[in-house]
Amino acid sequence: MTALNPAAGKPIDPAALANVPRLVTAYFAGKPDAGDPAQRVAFGTSGHRGSSLKNSFNEDHILATTQAICDYRREAGLTGPLFIGIDTHALAEPALASAVEVFAANGVEIMIDGEGGYTPTPVISHAILSYNKGRSSGLADGVVITPSHNPPEDGGYKYNPPHGGPADTDVTGVVEKNANRYIEAGLKGVARMPYDRARKAATTHLHDYITPYVADLGNTVDLALIKSAGVRIGIDPLGGAAVHYWQPIIARYGINATVVNAAVDPTFRFMTADWDGKIRMDCSSPYAMASLIGMRDRFDVAFANDTDADRHGIVTRSNGLMNPNHFLATAIAYLFAHRPQWSGSAAIGKTIVSSSIIDRVAKKLGRKLVETPVGFKWFVEGLGSGGFGFAGEESAGASFLKRDGTAWTTDKDGLILGLLAAEIIAKTGRDPSELFKELTDELGVPYYERIDVAATPKQKNALKALGPDQLNMATLAGDAVSAVRTKAPGNDQPFGGIKVESASGWFAARPSGTEDVYKIYAESFRGPDHLKQIQSDAKAAIAKAF
């Protein structure tokens, strides 16, 4: 495992803060080398991410990618408005300006925040779904300018088509290819107009994102119950895009909530360092969340969101920061017991590397479980149709239906998951950690960990191609192997790795897309020693296969 940095969980050294003027200058002055793979547009399901200081997120990337999205919209016959939002990273404002210049020159109707503020990813998803409801033509789509919880030096740019969720590879592949073609051609073919003209264009509209999202929130989480129960809530937006949403929510619904940090600062100097000493707005990290964890005794429950507010971190008075898998299982158990209007056939969606405690909860509830590859895109259709009551992934991202069983968002929503933790207390009188303890008393205690193992690019490719025959495992930590998978059982799609299961544990191995490591996710229902044996067996079997 990677060693913990001595600065982890401590206030940031001012000398380590991002130089924002230098970062923004590099955005406009730097030019990517189209021949360098690290400087090309790489538009995965989380969009294109990079840093201007590494020439991987510069103006050329945004101009080219925006033009490629305009081209895609024309090909797909999309003529409705495009909802566009930004988070609080330093590169978000410059990237918005570049995008507006291209969208306006292409005659795309765009909706930008009327107050010049920030817009969480789930709010863009909600806006797209609300606009498209009942329509079969003139459909809306959206763009979110965010690198999620990444360090302050990073920028990100992602596209959500009319279904409101993350774009699938059939879309992102086309956008990526065409964006790189524009960069190679020195931006020839990219339509653009001066920013001042673009802002004044007839197709550029100021939009109120806060009011409709906040007004609909009570249809998804029982905020009246939270108010009447007087649940004391602490909220830390971690300086992210949700920062200006909480006071309107508190005012509208009268809940007893305190925003413990309302600061917006592109250096994120108020954070504590993550495990490696870097600044990361990762609400599932105990090191990044040290400040809020320290306040746990002030509130019945506290929570934080990452910078685009699509992830959640739940801090309980009884047990501190919850493991993301533990809260997912608790949320599922609670929701399916307290949403009588949901369809009896509404399923539970989880990723293949999420905890098997979710499988056991689903079995207890008598609900269908759909296990997919990693990536929220696999849940979009089910959340949109009401086929999934809840869908979540191990990295603290989830969404669920409105109380009447209709779609809320098709992207992750950290705001509703935080508020759900308060609803759980209001309804049951126990916090989510206490409810999870009750679940595990009945269903078993999971011991789960993800570790990174060094691997060469050649070995990473070999891992992708690894099958049951090459791995040749009959037992796992003393138990008979019950299944070896390279495809997710929920939709029969390959997940880019291998998973080995037994009656009391499992591991999954996947190559990292960005580092020379592969990731082992492992879980035991017997204890920490058994977990270590599973990890050891996994490393040995993969090394032998290499």
Burial class of residue 253 in the structure, from the number of CB atoms within 10 Å of its CB (0-12 exposed, 13-18 middle, 19+ buried): middle
Checking phi first, is residue 239 left (phi over 0); if not, alpha (psi -120 to 50) or beta? left
How far apart are the C-alpha atoms of 201 and 109, rounded to whole Å? 9
- In angstroms, how far apart are the furthest CA atoms of the chain? 69
Determine the residue type at 91.
L
Say how far residue 346 (Cα) sits from the centre of its chain.
Answer: 22
Asked whether the beta carbons of 518 and 463 are under 8 A apart, the reply is yes
CA distance 25 to 21: 6
Which tokens hold the place of 340?
């009588």
**Residue of 335, 293, 366, 351 lying closest to 485 (CA atoms):** 351
Q: Are 285 and 296 in contact (CB under 8 A)?
A: no
For residue 94, which phi and psi values (nearest 5 degrees)? -60, -40
Task: Tell me the C-alpha distance between 339 and 355, whole Å.
Answer: 23
- What is the residue type of 149? H
Bridging pattern class, strands 257-259 and 141-145: unpaired
Q: φ, ψ for residue 520 (rounded to 5)?
A: -110, 115
Amino acid 389 reads G
148 flagged as catalytic: yes
Neighbouring C-beta atoms of residue 263, cutoff 10 Å: 12
Residue with tokens 């499988």, as numbered in its chain = 359
Q: Which of 46, 98, 125, 148 is catalytic?
A: 148
Rounded-to-integer distance, Cα 304 and Cα 176, Å: 32
For 72-128, the DSSP string reads HHHHHT--S-EEEEE-SSTTHHHHHHHHHHHHHHTT--EEEETTS----HHHHHHHH
Query: Which string of DSSP letters, residue by residue, matches 149-204?
Result: T--TTEEEEEEE-TTSSPPPHHHHHHHHHHHHHHHHTTTTT-----HHHHHHSTTE
List Cβ neighbours of 162 (8 Å cut-off, separation of 6 or more): 78, 80, 128, 132, 139, 140, 141
Helix/strand number for the chain, H first, E second: 18, 22
219 in Cβ contact with 130 (< 8 Å) = no
Instruction: Count the neighbouring beta carbons within 10 Å of the beta carbon of residue 363.
Output: 11
Which residue type is seen at 280? R
Catalytic annotation, residues = 148
